[in-house]
């Protein structure tokens, strides 16, 4: 399948987890892919992993929270057709105990970093009259998940930023949509979630498991394709029915 042949996709946080799966899915769909991640060592590791899977990609080291670094990265990358914003961090704590520095850093990376990349890539897309901006959100942006306050607020902000991009760029040939999964089996989640967290999520999800990275990537590839040309401003939950259900008597 080469439905994205001739397109250049940039994936932030592309060296691991969901970003790595998205980079692979886009490459397998025919896109030229550049991954952005925090440092050269991380980028190299991601490139090598993807190369072993038969998906050679390019990479640029970039902290998405650093505006100057983002500007330099997108200038070096050149024309971007598809942007997928996967770079994100989690700092668990309840609101009354939340460290203000941790709060600032989570919003800086997850929300402001998404803004930096979407603005810079969006300007390139508008110049050519075609583009796909796909933000990685979370069901945590739609619910008050105890102990995940900064992350939830950042993802709620990402949802609104996505809608604003859709409203402002739709008549310029650019769509913007978000993919919002429940927890995904990635190293970040394995570190953040213990057995009790996992049991609670499973108990309230009709399909009682976490999402797989490739399932999120499949949604991203669809939104990047011509098949999704009239899908704009949508928050696509990849959640096994979590947001559709209430109490589940197992």
Residue tagged 């011509």 (tokens): 226
| CA end-to-end span of the chain | 40
Known catalytic membership, residue 151: yes
For 57-94, the pLDDT digits (tens) are 999 999 999 999 999 999 999 999 999 999 999 999 99
Find the range with the poorest average confidence among 8-22, 98-112, 168-182, 189-203. 189-203
Binned at pLDDT 50, 70 and 90, residue 187 comes out as confident
Q: Is the pLDDT of residue 189 over 70?
A: yes
Predicted local confidence at residue 241, as pLDDT: 95
User: What are the counts of helices (DSSP H) followed by strands (DSSP E) for the chain?
Assistant: 9, 7
Q: What is the distance between the alpha carbons of residues 111 and 133, in angstroms, rounded to a whole number?
A: 14
In terms of Cβ atoms closer than 10 Å to its own Cβ (0-12, 13-18, 19+), residue 41 is: exposed
Q: What is the distance between the alpha carbons of residues 77 and 7, in angstroms, rounded to a whole number?
A: 13
Encoding tokens for residue 121? 């890539």
Pick 106 or 200 by higher pLDDT: 106
Nearest Cα to 9, choosing from 24, 1, 228, 17? 24
For 87-140, the pLDDT digits (tens) are 999 999 999 999 999 999 999 999 999 999 999 999 999 999 999 999 999 999
Q: What is the distance between the alpha carbons of residues 229 and 250, in angstroms, rounded to a whole number?
A: 40
For the chain, give the number of residues: 250
> What ranges do the domains of the chain cover?
8-235
Helix (H, G, I), strand (E, B) or coil at 203: helix
- Considering 151, 201, 210, 242, which one is annotated as catalytic? 151
Predicted local confidence at residue 1, as pLDDT: 57
Residues 6+ away with beta carbon under 8 Å from 122: 83, 131, 133, 165, 169, 174
**DSSP type of residue 243:** G
Pick 194 or 172 by higher pLDDT: 172
Nearest Cα to 181, choosing from 92, 243, 117, 101? 243
Q: Computed from CA positions of residues 7, 11, 17, 20, in that sequence, does the dihedral angle turn out positive or negative?
A: positive
User: CB–CB of 150/95 below 8 Å?
Assistant: no
Q: What is the distance between the alpha carbons of residues 197 and 60, in angstroms, rounded to a whole number?
A: 34
CATH of 8-235, one of 2.40.160.10, 3.40.250.10, 3.40.50.720, 3.40.920.10: 3.40.50.720
Q: Is the pLDDT of residue 246 over 90?
A: no
Q: What is the distance between the alpha carbons of residues 193 and 148, in angstroms, rounded to a whole number?
A: 11
């Amino acid at each position: 399948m080469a439905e994205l042949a001739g397109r250049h996709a940039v994936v932030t946080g592309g060296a691991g987890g969901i970003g790595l799966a998205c980079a692979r899915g886009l490459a397998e769909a025919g896109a030229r892919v550049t991954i952005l991640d925090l440092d050269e060592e991380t980028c190299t590791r991601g490139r090598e992993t993807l190369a072993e899977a038969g998906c050679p990609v390019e990479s640029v080291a970039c902290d998405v929270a650093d505006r100057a670094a983002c500007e330099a990265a997108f200038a070096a990358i050149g024309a971007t057709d598809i942007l997928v914003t996967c770079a994100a961090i989690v700092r668990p704590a309840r609101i009354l105990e939340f460290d203000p520095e941790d709060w600032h850093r989570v919003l800086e990376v997850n929300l402001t970093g998404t803004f930096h990349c979407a603005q810079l890539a969006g300007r390139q897309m508008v110049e050519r009259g075609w583009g796909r901006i796909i933000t990685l959100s979370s069901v945590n942006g739609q619910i008050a998940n105890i102990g995940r306050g900064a992350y939830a607020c950042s993802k709620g902000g990402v949802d609104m930023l996505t809608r604003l991009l859709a409203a402002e760029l739709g008549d310029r040939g650019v769509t913007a949509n978000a993919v919002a999964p429940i927890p995904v089996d990635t190293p970040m989640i394995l570190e953040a979630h213990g057995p009790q967290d996992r049991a609670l999520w499973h108990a309230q999800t009709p399909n009682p498991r976490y999402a797989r990275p490739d399932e999120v990537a499949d949604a991203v590839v669809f939104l990047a394709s011509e098949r999704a040309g009239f899908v704009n401003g949508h928050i696509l939950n990849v959640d096994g029915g979590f947001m559709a259900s209430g109490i589940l008597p197992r």
